[in-house]
Amino acid sequence: MMTAGQVSKGRKIMIRFRLHTPQEFRLVGRPVEEAFVYLATTNPHVDVPICFEGPQQLVREIRENLIGSYGERGRRIEESTSGYDLNNAMHGMTMAAFEPEFVEGVEILRDGTNE
């Protein structure tokens, strides 16, 4: 049985999203920045700390918008959250400007666990 963040066949189990600089802040001739928000978990029902990775300013903006937004059934996103709540928040209006892309962990949400 795997625990949150353990390596399975050489990689960590996680629910991960890629986010981008909002359109309104993109500068002509400059590359679009991207950042990642993820949970190191095998169980989408359990709250675990939210991890952020990417350029400092973009991560700060993402974090400010994500913390306090809403997950499943109106549950507020805090420093730790569940996979289902993070997924719901990423598909909400608050995060839409960052164009979230689900890049890893769909099987965890689909199956309810990857243990």
Q: pLDDT tens digit string along 95-108?
A: 999 999 999 998 88
pLDDT tens per residue, range 32-77: 899 999 999 989 999 999 999 999 999 999 999 999 999 998 999 9
CB 104 within 8 A of CB 15: yes
Scored b (16 or more CB within 10 A) or e, 63-87 reads eebbeebebeeeeebeeebbbbbbb
**Residue 115 pLDDT more than 60?**
no
DSSP alpha helix (H) spans, the chain: 56-66, 83-90, 106-111
Neighbours of 13 (CB within 10 A): 23
Let me know if residue 2 belongs to a domain. no
In a domain, 56, yes or no: yes
Residue 65 lies inside a defined structural domain of this protein: yes
Is residue 75 domain-resident?
yes
Provide the domain count of the chain: 1
**Domain range for residue 88?**
7-111
Let me know if residue 1 belongs to a domain.
no
